[in-house]
Structure 1
Amino acid sequence: MIKNIITQLKNKLFLVAYSGGLDSTVLLHQLIIAKKTIPDIKIRAIHINHNLTSFSQKWIKHCKKYCEKNKIPLIVKNIFFDEQINNTEEKLRIKRYNIIYNNLLLKEVLLTGHHMNDQCETFFLSLKRGSGPTGLSSMSFKTMLGDKKIIRPFLNKTRKELEFLANYHHLNWIQDFSNFNTNYDRNYIRHKIIPELEKRWPFFLKNCFRTIKICQKETILLNNFLLEKIQNFVQSDNSLNIKTFKNIKKDMCTALIRRWIALQQIKMPSYKNIECIYDQIIFSRVDANPKIKIEKNEIRRYKQSLYFIKTQPIVKNTFLFWHKKNNKLFLPNDLGYLVQNDQGISLPKPKKSELINIRFQYEGKILILGRNKTRKIKKIWQEKNIPPWLRNQIPLLFYNDDFISALGVFIVDIKHKNKETWKISWQNDLKPTNKKFLFY
């Protein structure tokens, strides 16, 4: 079984997620057997200790002993978690996969022992959440963890089949008694729901697995169709053009929004959130500034496009003094730094008595250099195509309380008496989300 997978993958490096339980023990043992006939493969194991039970140190010893016996390098990592936090199962899963990802070597494939029972449980959890075909597709045999592969060789095997293999090879495994705690949703499905269904319909697990496969195929077909379709809407700056969305059926619009979000490589939000994006952003007032938060990101609308942006800390009340102007001035919020050099924008030089300071907010009317009429700064931001979420990220240069420049965007005409000039560069990774932004 494993040998065939290794041959098909043409891969040499494997990391096994090894809890010491039944499925991961059988998986590791199968790899050890395969190595006897494919000696050039390299196997490592990783054990994540969640520190949720007094038995955890005993389990580590068990895993170390088995790996030492079979000459398998073992990585042991700890997670310390506050059990008072809601959604513990999901938070632990995220932490676990982050640790595993950070320990994967280049071209190393992660193998997990998920089996058909796990797949069916995931299917029921998706039903509980009201998921669509994508959620009901549950786990795939092969998927990606960032830029690394995950393979689940046992997805078409039941737990009973793995138990048979374990007993046949006289394997010992850990029994985690927390897996019997039916306060956890997955355990409730495992011990209360599925056994009853199997009593009534002995082939329920296999039929459930077949339904999942159908959902996976339908999802792949839909995604391929949408991927081709969405090329007409995704712009060069990765924004989504929604100009014609009001003339397209809602179901197609929400499907396109989902596909666009999937391109951002984050966990897919619920259908309810997608509908909120459609109802509250696309159909909000033209002059509104709507946003919807998704994890640490935001969906924002600017003019006739949707933007996916990382939520930034608020810096509009930040006030920085640049006392040593021959040195770099580092800005907050990873906004880079200011430096005096020949490549910068030419500005009136401050007098010795003037305090150079940087702010990130200004309200009121200003006169831009080269103009003959003052305008509200909000109108100038709009004229320069700077969206609302970037306006408080641009450093504003002041001498005392005199507004001198929004660096990289415009210079204020203040009739400064000093005829000398100096040049300032703003070195930053701030990426305009509209190719029409008029950054100098």
Structure 2
Amino acid sequence: MADSRPPLDVLDALITEALAPLAPGRRLWVALSGGLDSSLLLSRVAPAARAQGITLRAVHVDHGLQPAAATFVDHCRALCAALAVPLSVVPVTVTPAGQGLEAAAREARYAAFAATLATGDMLWLAQHADDQLETFLLAALRGSGVTGLAGMPLRRHWRGLEIIRPWLGVSRSTLRAAAEQCDLAWCEDPTNHALEYDRNFLRHR
């Protein structure tokens, strides 16, 4: 049965549920790319975390792979300033070594998370149901085994960090409707329509 609540109510309820077990003083980070999904996540988490006494920070990994990278950094800084959330901008060098640019960028991103966050910190990612489907299809096309086909977990422990995807069961269309509902500003990644990337090809074709 479809959820009849307004999109923002759906998303805020999931944030409240994910924050509920956290004790005051716990340090929570949001991975902020500057796109719609992560900008929306940070903007909705900020007041809820503050009310619960959770220490909130954002981390932006600057891959430096496109001319628009500086625009994304500027947007993240402006959003975090408006929300009074401290931001760490981490520049990385992406070096494909036989695994392709997308995989190399992901590897560099997670290395930045590990280097920036402290053991015991929690990291929230804004990935959603459409991302999960694309991940499954990519794994299937690449002949992945059972582990690969399981997709992204809602919660995982990795290198002393707790990684949560609170909106993993929510569609991209719901996120966009919620962003429009609250008049959110975000950056559109110009590479999202570049069909030479496997994930983009699956998404659009």
Short-chain TM bin: 0.7 to 0.9
| Residue 86 of structure 2 corresponds to residue 66 of structure 1 | no
Amino acid at match of 1:165: A
**SS of residue matched to 1:8:** coil
Runs of 4+ in 1 over 4 A off after TM superposition: 82-86
Aligned counterpart, 1:188: 201
Alignment of 1:95-106 (within 5 A): 95-106=108-119
Deviates more, 1:172-181 or 1:98-107: 98-107
Aligned counterpart, 1:127: 140
Aligned counterpart, 1:146: 159
Bigger fraction of residues in strand: 1
The offset of 1:106, in angstroms, is 3.5
Aligned counterpart, 1:15: 29
| Residue 178 of structure 2 corresponds to residue 165 of structure 1 | yes
CA distance in 2 between partners of 1:37 and 1:64 (Å): 22
CA distance in 2 between partners of 1:126 and 1:81 (Å): 22
| Residue 53 of structure 2 corresponds to residue 56 of structure 1 | no
**SS of residue matched to 2:201:** helix
Alignment of 1:327-338 (within 5 A): none
The offset of 1:14, in angstroms, is 0.5
Unpaired segments ≥5 residues, structure 1: 193-440
Contact between 2:119 and 2:160, CA under 8 Å: does it hold in 1?
A: no
**SS of residue matched to 2:187:** coil
CA distance in 2 between partners of 1:58 and 1:162 (Å): 22
The offset of 1:107, in angstroms, is 2.2
CA distance in 2 between partners of 1:149 and 1:168 (Å): 30
Q: 1:82 to 1:148 in 2, by over 3 A?
A: closer
CA distance in 1 between partners of 2:153 and 2:23 (Å): 19
Contact between 2:138 and 2:199, CA under 8 Å: does it hold in 1?
A: yes
Amino acid at match of 1:167: E
Contact between 2:120 and 2:160, CA under 8 Å: does it hold in 1?
A: no
Deviations 1:6-43 (A, max 9, x none): 103447211110001011011101111313532x1111
| Among 16, 29, 32, the residue aligned to 2:46 | 32
Alignment of 1:101-112 (within 5 A): 101-112=114-125
Amino acid at match of 1:111: W
Deviations 1:222-264 (A, max 9, x none): xxxxxxxxxxxxxxxxxxxxxxxxxxxxxxxxxxxxxxxxxxx
The offset of 1:84, in angstroms, is 8.7
| Among 190, 193, 196, the residue aligned to 1:177 | 190
**SS of residue matched to 1:150:** strand
Aligned counterpart, 2:3: none
**TM-score of the two chains, using structure 1 as the length reference:** 0.42
Tell me how large the CA RMSD over aligned residues is: 1.6
Bigger fraction of residues in helix: 2
Q: What is the aligned-residue identity percentage?
A: 34
Deviates more, 1:163-172 or 1:75-84: 75-84
**SS of residue matched to 1:66:** helix
CA distance in 1 between partners of 2:28 and 2:197 (Å): 31
Aligned counterpart, 2:105: 92
Question: Computing the radius of gyration over CA atoms, which structure comes out larger, 1 or 2?
Answer: 1
Q: 1:146 to 1:83 in 2, by over 3 A?
A: closer
The offset of 1:86, in angstroms, is 5.0
Contact between 2:43 and 2:83, CA under 8 Å: does it hold in 1?
A: no
Deviations 1:316-339 (A, max 9, x none): xxxxxxxxxxxxxxxxxxxxxxxx
CA distance in 2 between partners of 1:45 and 1:87 (Å): 27
CA distance in 2 between partners of 1:112 and 1:44 (Å): 13
Amino acid at match of 1:23: D
| Residue 28 of structure 2 corresponds to residue 46 of structure 1 | no
**SS of residue matched to 1:81:** coil
Amino acid at match of 1:33: P
| Among 117, 136, 148, the residue aligned to 2:149 | 136
| Among 124, 130, 136, the residue aligned to 1:117 | 130
CA distance in 2 between partners of 1:86 and 1:159 (Å): 27
**TM-score of the two chains, using structure 2 as the length reference:** 0.88
The offset of 1:158, in angstroms, is 0.4
Alignment of 1:14-413 (within 5 A): 14-38=28-52, 40-82=53-95, 87-192=100-205
Amino acid at match of 1:89: E
| Residue 21 of structure 2 corresponds to residue 4 of structure 1 | no
